[in-house]
Structure 1
Amino acid sequence: MSDEKKAALSPRRLVVVFQSAVGEAMLRLGLDLGFQTVLVEPDETRLQGLPKAHGDSFVHDLTAARLDEHTDVVLSDHHRAEIGDVLQEALAAETRWIGIVGNPKVEGPHVAALRERGAGEEQIKRVHRPIGLNIGSRTPAEIAVATLAGLIADRNGRPGGFEF
């Protein structure tokens, strides 16, 4: 069986870390695209007063999200204090892909956070940033579309335009 066919038949799991407008859009669209979706929000207080999160399930940590080789992990907020710990855990798992939102013109705070935790350059390079196709996305929905299109292209072995 070709690699393309294997990719199309493999389970698709999308773990979105952190409740945010971008994360909400990724979870909602991810379901329509055939991803099993999981929201990970370590801080329960951030969910108070919000409508029920879209997606298949909600958990408070990555261990409960059951990361595996079919899982794409996206951190939907780069301002959270937990990014270093979350990324360290995601990098230790056998995830297919890891990314974090952010401006491509500045070094992301995840780099320093991972270095502080002893991560080497190869580990840091596993974290994609920026994420999504280079379509000039600005709104949460546009960022979600760009990110999910890029993940689909990557899974299918196609050049999706992740380069900036």
Structure 2
Amino acid sequence: MDPKQNPRRLVAVFSSPVAEVLLRFGVELGFRSVLVEPDPTRLLGPPRPHGDTFVSDLAAARIDEHTDVVLTDHHRPEIGAVLKEVLAGRPRWVGIVGNPKHEGPHVAALKELGVGDEDIARVHRPVGLNIGSRAPAEIAVAILAGLLADRNDRPGGFEF
């Protein structure tokens, strides 16, 4: 599909089982999918041939107002720096996976980097519809359903 006709882009940051499914299903839902993995030793294998793109840095992902960004690992030490760069790109939506019962480590990481509360609040966590997801495929489906609901101004949303 011509990018000018469909500018929707889904950027999954960090190679993970959730990212794998996000990219695979994202293409089917009309997203141009991009995997960003800054550490090549963490790739789960070669980039998957689902119509998605693999890049090693965020600049190459070309984040803009048509981009939804999901960080698929909340344990990575670089989440603060990565999220700061993502937020500077002014994505349409940004979120990070994690347990909603605990404050995400991204909050402290962003504060330490001098990111203001208003920008920190732009990072959604938890992500996805509240359907009790546990397995990577379930988590990815919940995230994609939530993104579609949000994009279409529907009540599916991300409320827990």
Per the TM superposition, whether the score is higher than 0.5 is yes
Change (3 A) 1:58 1:51: closer
CA contact (8 A) 1:26 1:145 kept: yes
Question: Normalising to structure 2: TM-score of the pair?
Answer: 0.93
Q: Which runs of 5+ in 2 are unaligned?
A: none
| Contact 2:96-2:126 at 8 Å conserved across structures | yes
Matched positions, count: 155
Task: Say if 2:6 is the partner of 1:33.
Answer: no
What's the secondary structure of 1:147's corresponding residue?
helix
Where in structure 2 are the equivalents of 1:11-50 lying within 5 Å?
Answer: 11-47=7-43, 50=45
Residue 53 of structure 1 and its aligned partner are, at CA, apart by 2.7
Deviations 1:50-83 (A, max 9, x none): 2433542000111000011100000000000110
Of 92, 95, 99, the match for 1:99: 95
Higher RCO, 1 vs 2 (CA within 8 Å, ≥6 residues apart): 1
Report the Cα offset of residue 161 of structure 1.
3.5
Q: TM-score, normalised by structure 1?
A: 0.91
Say which SS state the counterpart of residue 14 (structure 1) adopts: strand
1:36 Cα deviation after fit: 0.2
Corresponding residue for residue 146 of structure 1 = 142
Bigger fraction of residues in helix: 1
